[in-house]
Structure 1
């Protein structure tokens, strides 16, 4: 599309956008009945957050979805929220907020184009095929205009794709990089095939960890779709509450989210449980994309050596290999993942700051931060667990 009049609309509820029109932009590849590339931007996932009260009044995540129309047709959409804090974002700007408010400014509310509570990379400027350029430009302009018209400190696009980061930077947004650890399936036919690519010491360590975990006194099961029963959500809720209370103080998702997930998201979800006599004692929840398994939540009611590594990392890798997925994203942070086959990758976000002086200060900070992250990724990759020589090393 080369031009024409584009109309931007702001929506306080996802229900005001027809599901088929949202998903035509968010996951057009799923039109063939297959999985979406990114389950987190589908209508059903975002609607579950809203309908469950996980976002909305009292949460600090007030929905402000964007749509762009051309000739009466929705050509682009974006999940966007007015934020009254910086919780649940995983691209931390607490220091920015402190500096801005110390100088007499008001940092909150701000705009956040993101998937709440989900540090996963994916498209944020969701466009119909064939409308990528016009749709992205319209959404960027619309986001900035909403922020400027409402005298907000800024607008932020977090965990966007590398291509979007490049396009947004060309449109005048500031580009920020971060780091996560992802596992890549290099055509392995089994978990042992993956282990064969590692140094002998790392192979031995992983085998030892798996043996300790699997000897906890019960069984490990993987469940998705109709194999997931209501009782499994009761267990996952207990695990999630325990971990959430320790990490964040207050868990982000409500209990109602898990009930809605049972009805509308079971096919998108993989639960991995360690259970004894049929009762889960630890569990991990993953979202399933077309090519990627996204690790999201973990928790336990009993402590067993290495079970966390087994459920969150090794079982996820096993499942990805068995189902032909190319990547496992195991969530934010965690250099301990390096020894378990997860390598550092760059993540991206885009930022618009209204105040010129503050914008310059942030730009200088981002340049220095970007250099440091690039150096860290280079160093960590070199320290990875994979063999550095072609010949077979013997155990």
Structure 2
């Protein structure tokens, strides 16, 4: 056995079968998804996301991998460290570039070290630290790791930061009415009123699975996606080519919800999914209709989960309004290693104080849970 660590210029440099064997069917970690980001220009030169996946080989066999990026800013991460970067700048130091192990633009909890072997995980953590030090990076960050990944970084002494997201669980509901029956009276009444207002406005919703999405529908979706960023005076992270690519290479994991008014599409929501989980991702509307966001992004997706017997619906970052739609709060974590010892101490103190506030916030959210 000859083990070796390598870094390459992107997932596109790795055979799809070798990567997917380690990713174990998680669509957002798949070779198709990550390579589409690269080939479409959504990450790479000029984006501030430079792919550099970390790989462990046994001779010529890939046995472990980490989706890793050199970052030149902090956009698209959903774990906010702008204050850390500003503190570096105030002291005449450079916070960027830094290393980030994550799925770009995707606040979804999943594995960040793609292997089941505990010893290989330790090797990968040590290798990540060495890459940071040898290349004189300010820091390394592991965003939204699952429990198994969390265990190995915690054991290695990395700083653990806590956050909150919202998830809906399908408790073997027979239909949407069955789900509503489990909510408190006020929440159930509110959802019914919202859905009635949408129907009364003339909206008709359509659910289209990946292989059936036409080029025209993809174009319309991208218009909606761009509109969301324009409303926030920002620029889309993802290119039209990215969506064309995943539509071609992983349609079995895609579902598009469209809203029509007077026969014309006016809004769209795109989700990815697998056998167990639906991941709410992208939304936009060309015309405002009250409550349409809730109908298209939440209720239509919940109905889809019930019909397909999908257990979880990950609602993504932020949004206390999700509580009223049947979601519940759940903790997330990230891990951080900071090269400068003085900044490491200050950031550790900040994280400890922040964690107290996050714990209190989670308790408050639990008290507002929407179920009976």
Same topology, TM > 0.5: yes
* 1:326 pairs with one of 307, 311, 314: 311
**Structure-1 residue corresponding to 2:63:** 75
Structure 1 residue matching 2:144: 3-state secondary structure: strand
- Residue number in structure 1 paired with 2:34: 46
What is the match of residue 112 of structure 2? 124
Alignment check: 8 A CA contact 1:12 1:63 kept: yes
Return 5+ residue gaps in structure 2 as ranges: none
CA contact 2:277–2:310 (8 Å) conserved in 1:
yes
- Aligned match of 1:6: 3
Task: Tell me which residue corresponds to 2:80.
Answer: 92
After alignment, is 169-178 or 245-254 more displaced? 245-254
* 3-state SS, counterpart of residue 319 of structure 1: helix
Asked if the contact 2:51/2:70 (under 8 Å) is kept, the reply is yes
Provide the TM-score with structure 1 as the length reference.
Answer: 0.91
1:18 maps to 2:15 = yes
More deviation in 260-269 or 81-90?
A: 260-269
How far off is 1:248 after superposition?
6.2
Of the three residues 126, 141, 160, the one matched with 2:145 is 160
2:332 equivalent to 1:347:
yes
Alignment partner of 2:163: what SS?
A: strand
Alpha-carbon distance in structure 1 between the residues aligned to 2:203 and 2:179: 26
Q: Give yes or no for contact 2:12–2:38 (8 Å, CA) kept in 1.
A: no
1:5 shift after superposition: 4.9
1:366-377 paired onto structure 2 within 5 Å: 366-377=351-362
Q: Secondary structure at the match of 1:123?
A: coil
Matching of residue 258 in structure 1 with residue 243 in structure 2: yes
- Aligned-CA RMSD value: 1.3
User: Between Structure 1 and Structure 2, how many residues are aligned?
Assistant: 372
- Alignment of 1:194 with 2:191, yes or no, is no
Structure 1 runs of 4+ aligned residues shifted over 6 Å read none
- The CA deviation at 1:311 is 0.6
1:241 — aligned with what? Answer: 226
Please tell me whether residue 151 in structure 1 is matched to residue 139 in structure 2.
no
CA deviation string 1:175-205 (max 9, x = no partner): 1110011111122111111111111111110
CA-CA distance at 1:116 after TM superposition: 0.5
Q: Which moved more, 1:75-84 or 1:63-72?
A: 63-72
Distance apart, 1:370 and its partner CA:
1.5
Q: Is the 8 A contact 1:162 1:348 kept in 2?
A: no
Alignment counterpart, residue 271 of structure 2, candidates 283, 286, 293: 286
Listed as ranges, the gaps of 5+ residues in structure 1 are 28-35, 388-395
Please list the CA deviations of residues 265-292 of structure 1 after superposition, one character each: whole Å capped at 9, or x if unmatched. Answer: 2221110010135532101010112211
SS at match of 1:331: strand
- State the match for 1:303 in structure 2: 288
Q: Which residue of 2 aligns with 1:362?
A: 347
Contact 1:153–1:353 (Cα < 8 Å) also in 2: yes
Q: Distance in 1 between matches of 2:146 and 2:105?
A: 17
Contact 2:211-2:247 within 8 A present in 1 as well: no
SS of 1:126 mapped into structure 2 = coil
Secondary structure of the 1:280 match is strand
Provide the residue aligned with 2:93 in structure 1.
105
Q: Which segment is superposed worse, 352-361 or 239-248?
A: 239-248
Separation of aligned partners in 1, 2:246 and 2:215:
10
CA distance in 1, matches of 2:138, 2:183: 47
Within 1, Cα distance between the matches of 2:225 and 2:352?
37
Q: CA deviation at 1:364?
A: 1.2
